A = this chain, B = another copy of it.
Amino acid sequence: MKYPNANTIGVPFPFRNGKANSGGRVHGIDRWLLRKFLQTIGEPSMRVVLWDGTESVKDNSTSSVGMVIRDRATLWRLLTNPLLHFGDDYSAGRIEIEGGLVAFMETVYRAMSQKTRSGRGCPKAAYRRNQPNMNSLTGSRRNIHHHYDIGNDFYQLWLDQEMLYTCAYFPDPAASLEDAQIAKMDLVCRKLRLNAGQTVVEAGCGWGALARYMARHYGVKVRAFNISGEQIAYAHKRAKAEGLEGQVEYVEDDYRNISGQYDAFVSVGMLEHVGPDHYRELGNIVERSLKERGLGLIHTIGQSRAEPMSPWLLQRIFPGSYPPTLREMMELFEPWGFSVLDVENLRLHYAKTLEHWLERFEVHKERITAMFDECFVRAWRLYLSGAIANFNLGNLQLFQVVFTRHGNNLIPWTRSHLFVPPDA
């Protein structure tokens, strides 16, 4: 297959390392621009080194993180759209980070959130401004293709062996990623109280691991939808190899085309891609797909208060995505009178999941550079590190929401079933 390069993921600058064309000596205006830039991002406590070695350190700073800005043009760009250009220029190697990228991003995000607390404007407007394809049927397909169809063998290098690309559940923080992903799937099955012979529909199934797990361990039949062609092909092949063809059907189609009625509706890591303008529509799909006594589960990245996503992440990594607040999520449930039974927040589990991914990613960075290019590796390192920082700081949350119809009284009496070990 043909891998995308920096250009196909959207980074507009060719990769260029070193100090060539740096713009010579630093002048007064450069120092002034740097001060302005640091003010814009809330004056984080860090060291900044400019292209000729000029250093700027915040008063009394004991921080060990810092950034090197390799040329004047980069400094100018940082002022016009700091988050977008920081991402692009870091990817292109015109910015280098000292003291660890996660620690650096935490320092910057912390400063930014103190500066801009509840003043960053309308997140929905920022979302619309920054996403090239709105989430229509064709827009969604383009958005999903951009991220998920860049090569199964790339994702195989750093995901667990079941290929789960969503937050894992670590019963113990020291659990392995493999065990934590299995524990996550089992937690989802227990929350849905699956029983042999039941039917499940899954909206956004990734590489199909959850559907196979449900079929194998809980004896249910699953129809799993996804608009990523590469993921569906992989999922189908694995189900066939594992003798689960009769129980699991993978459908390359949009969640809006789900038909039929099921005992359970499950969606793990899709809502982030649905977009706030479509929650009501998704709720309508759930309303028509869930049997009278069915249970539903939605697992999604979220926020504690509505803030716009980084334009860099929206444009380069996850076009069309938006992490909802719980209030925004209720647009899925309240118009149809769904009763929310359980919300669990697994924020720190996602930070840990991402740490595992980043560690494996770094182990394979030469191979990934050969598959794509160095700019791609740097962009993805930044995305994974920034996500760890955001989950650690609480800028991102991870909600698992269990719900059912209005008057369904066949609901779990307590949560004790969540703590029964599988096969017990």
Contact = CB atoms under 8 A, between A and B. Distances in A.
Interface of A: 117-118, 169-171, 173, 304-306, 325-327, 330-331, 333-335, 337-345, 347-348, 392-394, 397, 399, 405-409, 411, 413-416, 418-419
Contacts of A413: 170, 173, 348
15 contacts: A118-B335, A118-B337, A169-B414, A171-B414, A173-B413, A304-B334, A305-B337, A340-B397, A340-B399, A341-B345, A342-B344, A342-B345, A344-B415, A348-B409, A392-B407
Nearest to A352: B413
Contacts of A341: 344-345
Contacts of A331: 327
Contacts of A392: 407, 409
> 5 tightest A-B contacts by CB?
A343-B343, A327-B330, A394-B407, A394-B406, A304-B339
Contacts of A409: 348, 392, 394
A304 B171 contact: no
Given A326-B326, A340-B304, A407 B393 contact: yes
A117 B407 CA distance: 13
Copies of this chain held together in the complex = 2
Contact of A304 (B117, B333, B393): B333
A228 B171 CA distance: 44
Contact of A419 (B333, B411, B419): B419
Given A326-B334, A327-B331, 7 more contacts: A118-B337, A326-B326, A339-B347, A340-B399, A342-B345, A344-B415, A415-B419
Nearest to A171: B414
A405 B337 CA distance: 29
A394 B418 contact: no
B334 A305 contact: yes
Contacts of A330: 325-327, 330
A397 B419 CA distance: 24
B345 A397 contact: no
Contacts of A406: 304, 393-394
A339 B391 CA distance: 12
A326 B325 CA distance: 12
A408 B394 CA distance: 8
A331 B327 CA distance: 8
A361 B414 CA distance: 27
A419 B416 CA distance: 7
Among A304, A411, A416, max chain B CB count under 10 A is at: A304
A399 B334 CA distance: 15
Nearest to A331: B327
B334 A340 contact: no
Nearest to A408: B394
A355 to B, nearest CB: 14
Contacts of A306: 334
Nearest to A413: B173
A147 to B, nearest CB: 27
Contacts of A343: 340, 342-343
A112 to B, nearest CB: 13
A330 B338 CA distance: 17
A192 to B, nearest CB: 15
Contacts of A117: 337
Contacts of A327: 327, 330-331, 334
Contacts of A339: 304, 345, 347, 394, 397
A169 B341 CA distance: 15
A344 B401 CA distance: 10
A335 B333 CA distance: 21
